[in-house]
Amino acid sequence: MQIHFAFALFSDMYNISYKMKKRNSTFILLSFAILILASCQKSSRFEIDTTRNRVDVKIHRFDKDLLSIDTTNTQKGVESLYKHYPEFIQDFTENILDTAATDTTAVSNLIHQYLTDKTFAQLNKKTLETFNDISDIETKVSNAYTYMHYYFPNVKLPEIYFYVSGLNRAIMMNDKFIGIGTDFYLGNDFPMYKDLNYEYLIYNMRRECLATDLVSTTLFRMFVMDGQDYRLLDNMLFRGKVMYLLSVIMPDEKPEVLMGYTPEQWKWSKKYEKEIWASIIDKKHLFSTDLILIRKYMNEAPFTAPVSQESPGRLGSYMGWQIVKSYMEKNVNVSLTDLMSDNNYQKMLENSGYRP
């Protein structure tokens, strides 16, 4: 169509009016094609209007209130924490401070020591700056929680708390809440991280990753692996189900962000997907129940050892996601509820038609 347009534009064989009509019709057709393509790229059979029956998430800012305590009167600040966060502070004192919540004097002393310790001064200052305004994070989580409530209305969604722990613990959760340590998301160039963490873990210690981590934590809290067997296959497809659901409820996030990969790691995985699958099959790893082998495929690591030292870690989760995606594309009658309740991973693989 572009060749015809160029020919019409420069040929003396056509008059001006014809050329203008040709140009206009071409422009209209191209615009229409672009709109259709954009619509196809964004559309999903699971897409919903998140402005309707919306779940508005308000994150409790325990971190900000703790870091804002006046250390000349720490006791008063701690009393305020007990008043405003009566349930959360129970878990915080026991899991982070390793102290009973009833011992308010000990709790006050420990918090005072933390807030006045020069070692954490830069960490605490950076945390307050980085997470001064979290409206964007609340919007992302609200959108995802609206999806969850729409498709799984009987699941009680947890309260969310932000806290700081001096890089002691990144996640806390129970039946009522999920807590996220904001001091773990200050940017992969934050100097303190290099001394305390493995290099392959630092990339995802960015503010941009917090909402995704929070939502995926919620999903792993909602859904627990319950397969008849504990094979690599079962682990891969269970993780794959969660990753697929995560991609549905956070449709605006890039797949590499959802996966926790760098753009280069994502490209590598896509490029060698066929070879990765062939390697798993050839080595007879797919049905292995060897826990050490399974961890090598599924756990955080600088690379997936059974595959290649050039590979990213957690390729088991990546491959599981691709298989589940293929399964859902081929079986359009399967709902999200059906998917998450199906633990017959052997059958799921067989019905996926997966061919990388």
Give the pLDDT of residue 2. Answer: 37
Per the CB < 8 A criterion, the answer to whether 232 and 294 are in contact is yes
Give the pLDDT of residue 40. Answer: 41
Please compute the mean of the pLDDT values over residues 2-12 and round it to a whole number. 35
Please compute the mean of the pLDDT values over residues 24-36 and round it to a whole number. 42
Q: Is the pLDDT of residue 161 over 90?
A: yes
Give the pLDDT of residue 215. Answer: 98
For residue 188, which phi and psi values (nearest 5 degrees)? -75, 0
What does the pLDDT look like over 297-312, one tens digit per residue? 999 999 999 999 999 9
Q: Which residues pair with 162 in a beta bridge?
A: 61, 180
How far, in Å, CA of 346 to CA of 286, rounded? 10
DSSP sequence for 211-277: HHHHHHHHHHHH-----SS--HHHHHHHHHHHHHHHHHHSTTS-HHHHHT--HHHHHHHHHTHHHHH
pLDDT band at 196; cut points 50, 70, 90 = confident
% of the chain at pLDDT higher than 70 = 87
- Residue 34's H or E segment, with its range, is helix 16-42
The answer to which of 37-41, 116-120, 153-157, 291-295 has the lowest mean pLDDT is 37-41
% of the chain at pLDDT higher than 90 = 84
Q: Is the pLDDT of residue 248 over 80?
A: yes
What does the pLDDT look like over 326-342, one tens digit per residue? 999 999 999 999 999 99
Give the pLDDT of residue 228. Answer: 67
pLDDT band at 29; cut points 50, 70, 90 = very low
DSSP sequence for 90-150: HHHHHHTS-S-TT-HHHHHHHHHHHHH-GGGHHHHHHHHHHTS--HHHHHHHHHHHHHHHH
Give the pLDDT of residue 197. Answer: 83
Q: Is the pLDDT of residue 270 over 90?
A: yes
* Lookup: tokens for 104: 């308010």
Of the two residues 267 and 4, the one the predictor is more confident about is 267
Give the pLDDT of residue 226. Answer: 80
Q: Is the pLDDT of residue 37 over 70?
A: no
How far, in Å, CA of 251 to CA of 330, rounded? 20
Q: Is the pLDDT of residue 7 over 50?
A: no
Please compute the mean of the pLDDT values over residues 217-246 and round it to a whole number. 93
Q: How far is CA 52 from CA 139, 142, 259, 336, in A?
A: 14, 12, 28, 19
Average pLDDT in the chain: 89
The answer to which of 174-183, 227-236, 255-264, 285-294 has the lowest mean pLDDT is 227-236
pLDDT band at 33; cut points 50, 70, 90 = very low
